[in-house]
Amino acid sequence: MLFNSYIFIFVFLPVTLTIFFQIGKYGYHRLAVSWLISASLFFYGWWNPAYLGLIVGSILFNYAMGTLIGKSGNRWSNYVLVFGIVVNLGFLGYFKYANFFIENVNSLFASNYHLKQIGIPLAISFFTFQQIAYLVDSWKGETVGYKFLHYCLFVTFFPQLIAGPIVHHKEMLPQFAKSKVYKLNYENIAVGLSFFILGLFKKVVIADTALNYVTPYFNIATQGNALTFLEGWVAALSYTFQLYFDFSGYSDMAIGLARMFGILLPINFNSPYKANSIIEFWRTWHITLSRFLRDYIYIPLGGNRKGISRRYINLMGTMLLGGLWHGAGWTFVIWGGLHGIYLVINHVWRAIKSKFIRANKYPPLINNNVSWLITFLAVVIAWVFFRAPTLGSAVHVLKAMFGFYGFEFTLGNSISRREVLLFLASCMFIVKLLPNSIELMRLYNPVLERDYAKHDSLFAPFWKPTIIWGLLYVVLSLSSLRMMVIQGYHEFIYRFF
């Protein structure tokens, strides 16, 4: 089931909310949690009921392992932890990477092994990573006292189940124990609905429109044909904005849906295209994934505690694994490797700058805009590998972007040059100059964090429950529903990661 579908908006969500608060109103909190777990599993199983057993089995296994780690004492807890992590990674590896591994073995050794094509269960990386973090923290003694039903809801809670954020047990489980969560709060409904409408508009009006400019040109590159200079840049920039508004839209809808139930999610998206460095980009893009990679991979590898060279090796290793997390393909590995290289260069440049370059040598306006442009272009180039189905198609797009096929400013596929350039300029205006959703709703503490970074925006209004804002959101809603009729439903890009 998709957030951007009529059955979700007009049936599943209102029914789930109504029954949850009707049960909670009479103090039956366990029953209300059970209802929300059942609804979340129904939401998950809508796509493919066959995978319901996998997520249920994963929940039962990891809760049992966490309990056993807590009770086994120092002598056996290490072994139980390792066993639990290995099983989780094996589970993830089989479904997500087995076919990729067999393909590469066949290519490397000219063999002909065959493995039945394995479908990737929805959101397998998200709920597996959440539970690995739970096991590690159980080993640290930080998960004592959690109820089984609350743990089930922590994993299955439908607003964040499909594409994050990757929530932490410390953030979510204490909230489920609060009695106020089970009482209908009209402010939460208003704030949550506003977030949901903003996210829906981003997804169906902006991201799905960008898709119309992405697919034709990447298809041409995949077929081995040359693109013009303008087609290469339109393909790359359109995907850059499609991914931004698709993922930002999902993040807003997740925050809004959780808020309707009185739950605050952690911030996961904070204007990453305003970043003036790759370091800043990764502090604002998929924030909870960056946090997981830092806390459970980079720091255990040694972080920056074992010298400069080791620090850069750890960075590269972490980003390569982060790339592979996104998908079983060499294009994702290269994307992760590029960002690893970017981060190393960024850290080296900061070290050189602090030692050898006089501070404030250039006016801040010039310095910041040059840094932003370099960062943005580096991100755009890396996104080409993220989107391209093959290395060859990525190379074709990049060669067009860098003028290897000439510098023609023409577009094929009957796409209006004026229309697409106006669309791209509008997207840039929104992501660079306007406040993001969290800044817009800042008076109502929309996320768990209270110290999220503020950005310089062209103007910084804030949402209030007024008639003017209500009319604006009605317009956004009607525009979104109209586009859903015209274009149909498109899946979220991060849905199968």
Please identify every residue annotated as catalytic: 326
User: What percentage of the chain's residues is helix, strand, coil (to nearest 5)?
Assistant: 70, 0, 25
407, with CB counted inside 10 A (0-12, 13-18, 19+), is exposed
Ramachandran angles phi, psi of 389, nearest 5°:
-70, -20
Ramachandran angles phi, psi of 285, nearest 5°:
-105, 125
Tell me the C-alpha distance between 70 and 73, whole Å: 7
- 91-120: buried (b, 16+ CB within 10 Å) or exposed (e) per residue? bbeebbbebbeeeeeeeeeeeeeeeeeeeb
List Cβ neighbours of 331 (8 Å cut-off, separation of 6 or more): 385, 386, 388, 389, 390, 391, 394
Residue 269, SS3 per DSSP: strand
Question: Residues 421, 426, 428, 429: what is their CA dihedral angle, to the nearest 10 degrees?
Answer: 140
Tell me the C-alpha distance between 81 and 96, whole Å: 22
Tell me the C-alpha distance between 203 and 215, whole Å: 16
Ramachandran angles phi, psi of 269, nearest 5°:
-155, 120
Closest CA to 211 of 182, 235, 183, 232: 235
Are 66 and 81 in contact by the 8 Å Cβ rule? The answer is no
Structure tokens at 100: 């990729």
Determine the residue type at 345. I
Strands (E) located in 174-265: none
